[in-house]
Amino acid sequence: MITVMKFGGTSVGSAEALKRVAKIIADKEDEKVVVVSAMSGITNFLVSVADSANPDVESVVTEFSNKHLMAASQLFEGETMAEFRAEFDSRIEGFRSALLADREDPFYKDAVVSQGERFSSLMLAFVLRDMGIKSVALTSEDVGIIALGTPGNGSADLLNTASGMTMRVKPLLSMGVVPIITGFYGVGPNKGPLTFGRGGSDYSAAVVANAIDADMLEIWTDVDGFMTADPRIVAGAKKIPEMNFGEAAELAYFGAKVLHPRTIEPVRLKHIPLKVKNSFRPEEPGTLIHHLRKSTAEMLRSVAAKTDLSIITISSAEIAYRPAMVARIIDKIAEINVIIYSISTTLSSVAFLVHNNDVKMTLRQLNGLSGGDIERIDVKNDVALICAVGDNLLDKCGVSGDVFGAVKEANANVEMISEGASDVSLNFVVPMSKVIDVVRTLHEKFIGGQ
């Protein structure tokens, strides 16, 4: 039995947390592969460095080193500390070179922001070794996690990653070694780091599980499992004991931050069950996500919200009768790789939901449409997509009426609806200013607890 265990930023965020995680790994009897995020706060720090116009490289290196060495000084001494420092210092050289590289390189930011995982993985491997467990820190380059895509937005090449990992990781498992692999990025088309987007270590772990044909993927985080809503928005959110892949995939894609939006697909493809567990309370059973689960009586199971979106509405006479025109518009948007979260059409308009940050680029692209038959393009910024997931929603008579009734109670206008695209979720758009009220009202009325 092979288990892939992923530990997030807070789970490896301090000396104490690293020790707790090492114990969880030691207690697991299976063959195990570990994937880690950077220590909490580190990636945000690196993003601000990569975005600043003229960072002082030496003070950045000192601040970054100190953050890690402070934890290391509470964990290692003597010979272990000397060995750790030798590895650490050589990785710091790599960090310095990444900072000093050509800032015009489109992958510069990926190379800088992916540095944190190289250090958290090293620390965890040393903590395990100190406990007498054979362990080795490996980078995505070492194990061959291959990524494709544009800067900051990579996806794994599952086939090529599998062949590399089978050669480089599987032999370690049969020797009883625990590999600790960097999450968040793979080796991109330029042979340097390409990140999978913020929160991408969950996806890395799913890719690793897929590549080595694991029997189980465990995502260890700082809450008891997948919950009925974001507990930071709904204090009374409850843990969901069991979900199926479809439900978890929809919720993650539409804003449930506990899993990176694309975590489910690599494991679903190989029927690998996934557990979400709390590294601060390992005795809690967590949430099991797999193919099937028993259906339940309650109307809604969980609510998520994807914020910072915009509606772009294109008006053109009788566009509904001109499918080729709609196809050209979609082609144009696809050319620039902008994600469309929802589409709806009327006789004379097509509306798209995209991220606020993609609006400018999309409008520029649409201006290039020839033919002159677009009458008007309108943009409504700062809306949010609510995703309400439940059992066979489409079969349940009156569900949408009840849900929209609750939205009205929260004094919110529904700006766009995409009911019907999936039988597990009901999606609709509300203004950003109303998102918290809507999520809380839906939760209170249909799930229970404020």
With contacts defined by CB under 6 A, name the span among 35-43, 208-216, 344-352, 388-396 that binds ligand ASP. Answer: 35-43
What is the contact mask toward ligand ASP in residues 106 to 125, using x (rule: CB under 6 A)?
----------x---------
Give the dihedral sign, CA 337/340/344/348: negative
226 forms part of the interface with ligand ADP (CB under 6 A): yes
199 forms part of the interface with Mg ion (CB under 5 A): yes
Torsion from C-alpha of 408, 412, 415, 417, nearest 10 degrees: -50
Which residue among 10, 43, 195, 244 contacts ligand ADP (CB under 6 A)? Answer: 10
Is residue 290 within 8 Å of 276, Cβ to Cβ? no
Gap between the Cα atoms of 20 and 143, Å rounded: 26
261 forms part of the interface with ligand ASP (CB under 6 A): no
9 forms part of the interface with ligand ADP (CB under 6 A): yes
Beta bridge partners of 31: 2
Which residues, 6 or more positions from 416, have their beta carbon under 8 angstroms from its beta carbon? 311, 342, 344, 351, 353, 383, 428, 429
Q: To 5 degrees, how large is the angle CA 305–CA 311–CA 315?
A: 155
Q: Which is nearer to Mg ion, 182 or 316 (CB)?
A: 182
37 forms part of the interface with ligand ASP (CB under 6 A): yes
199 forms part of the interface with ligand ADP (CB under 6 A): yes
Q: Which is nearer to Mg ion, 116 or 144 (CB)?
A: 116
Q: At what angle do helices 323-335 and 359-367 cross, to 10 degrees?
A: 130
User: Which among Mg ion, ligand ASP, ligand ADP, none contacts residue 253 (Cβ within 5 to 8 A by kind)?
Assistant: none
Q: Which is nearer to Mg ion, 258 or 424 (CB)?
A: 258
Which residue among 31, 110, 157, 230 contacts ligand ADP (CB under 6 A)? Answer: 230
Which amino acid, 234? V
With contacts defined by CB under 5 A, name the span among 6-14, 164-172, 323-331, 406-414 that binds Mg ion. Answer: 6-14
User: Which among Mg ion, ligand ADP, ligand ASP, none contacts residue 151 (Cβ within 5 to 8 A by kind)?
Assistant: none
Gap between the Cα atoms of 269 and 264, Å rounded: 9
Torsion from C-alpha of 33, 147, 153, 226, nearest 10 degrees: -20
200 forms part of the interface with ligand ASP (CB under 6 A): yes
255 forms part of the interface with ligand ASP (CB under 6 A): no
User: Which among Mg ion, ligand ADP, ligand ASP, none contacts residue 200 (Cβ within 5 to 8 A by kind)?
Assistant: ligand ASP
Which residues, 6 or more positions from 381, have their beta carbon under 8 angstroms from its beta carbon? 310, 356, 359
